[in-house]
Chain A
Amino acid sequence: MSEPENPHWLRQVSGELREEVPVRAAWRAKLLDEVARAPRPSPGAGDDETLSDPWASEARRPRRLVLHPLAGLAAAVAFAAVGAATTLAVMTRRAETPARTEVAAAQPASRTAAAPMSDATSDVDIVTFELSAPTATNVALVGSFNRWNPVATPLERDAVTGRWMVSLRLPAGRHVYAFVVDGDITADPAAPRAADADFGTPNSVVLVGGRSS
């Protein structure tokens, strides 16, 4: 706001305030001397404690940084490495999270040899299918959960026990299945039989989770 735009009363007040206050000459001289003796504040300094801190003043002392090109390149590589390591760590953690869940969930897994029906009440359960076939060279699982596809779910032979096994996450419900042992279809000897021999040998039944009405 410019001076001419000020109203008359405001100009009058400001003029009176601008007039020098009559102060005794001795007091004035003393005040000016103290101001002159006081340490000059550093740019950006905010309080007296900081002003008196030698470390702070040293840190604020302007420096000239000379960076060799090779050193700069090394710093860039190091920075990129730190970034990559951080990203990798985050991604690894994300990948491991479901793995822990899976392993934890695997603990109550049903084994067809001992407990052919899952007693869990969850909607999805991990079921371990096992078969003792010491002389077999190829064992697969077929059933309502894999379109009866003989190559979809191969069993792995346990080197210690010699048993064939595979673990699957199955939704709650009644599932019908059979093993394919070197091309021959056979029911699970440890599981309940299904009365559904429409095409030859009967199948087996596994119940997973859930609780019926």
Chain B
Amino acid sequence: MKRIALVTFLLIGPGTALAQDRTLPEKLGAPARTTLQRLIDSARVAGLPVDPLYSKAQEGVFRGASDDRVIAAVQRLARELGDARAALGDSASAEEITAASNAIRAGVATADLTRLRDTRAKGRNSNHRLTVALVVLADLAMRGVPPSLAAASVNELVARNVTDNTLISFRQTVERDLVNGRSPASALDARTRSIVEDAERRRP
């Protein structure tokens, strides 16, 4: 155990936590940098989170994308962030907006995001983060689960006030079912029903 702890410390080092770097890659051409900076400044003025935009540009350069492709990707993400913010409302955190934008990209309707937000807000005691629900929702949609079905299941679980860990386990078990050949609809229905029934049994 001590050895593990020591190795952990050596790997971690005494440094400070890594954080998002808000600079555009120097490998981008000057025109692309100017375009991206204007885009990011506009997003900032609109109250959207800009860290994902910087990250997207950095990822594009890392993956060897052309300047035009990087600009297109950042433009698309900025648009999705705006849609996500509109769906969740002005009080949504940067983390929630970013996760919701990812769900939109995965095919989830903005109306479903708004419904999920409202369901969580009605919860008596929120055991979960909205971001976790949004990440699970996007992941399920990415893995072939119909987005509307995925949204309905996650919404039902959030309405039952399940914990973050339950949502994470839900995602993992559905993923395992899919890998084992089960149909997305069947896997989703069975796992959702299992958690709901378990929650009903635990209710005093």
Contact = CB atoms under 8 A, between A and B. Distances in A.
Interface of A: 98-99, 102-103, 106, 109, 115-117, 119, 124, 126, 128, 142-150, 156, 165-174, 176, 185, 192-196, 198-200, 202-203, 205, 207, 210-213
B30 interface: no
19 contacts: A106-B9, A119-B164, A144-B52, A145-B19, A148-B61, A165-B11, A169-B16, A169-B17, A171-B18, A173-B94, A174-B99, A192-B136, A193-B139, A198-B56, A203-B59, A207-B95, A207-B131, A210-B129, A212-B93
Nearest to B108: A195
A142 B61 CA distance: 12
Contact of A106 (B8, B132, B139, B165): B8
A154 B9 CA distance: 15
A111 to B, nearest CB: 11
Contacts, number: 149
A198 B73 contact: yes
Interface stretch (B36-44, B62-70, B182-190): B62-70
Chain B contact surface mostly: helix
Interface residues of B, number: 60
Contacts of B9: 99, 102-103, 106
A199 B15 contact: no
B142 A169 contact: no
Given A99-B14, A145-B20, A169-B15, A199 B63 contact: yes
A198 B16 CA distance: 31
B180 interface: no
Contacts of A106: 5, 8-9, 12
B53 to A, nearest CB: 11
A109 to B, nearest CB: 7
Contacts of B69: 198-199
Given A119-B164, A174-B99, 14 more contacts: A106-B5, A148-B59, A167-B11, A174-B98, A176-B59, A192-B135, A195-B105, A195-B142, A198-B72, A205-B135, A205-B138, A207-B95, A207-B129, A210-B95
A195 B104 CA distance: 9
B76 A198 contact: yes
B96 to A, nearest CB: 5
B143 A193 contact: yes
B141 interface: yes
Contacts of A169: 12, 15-18
A109 B11 CA distance: 13
Contacts of A167: 8, 11-12
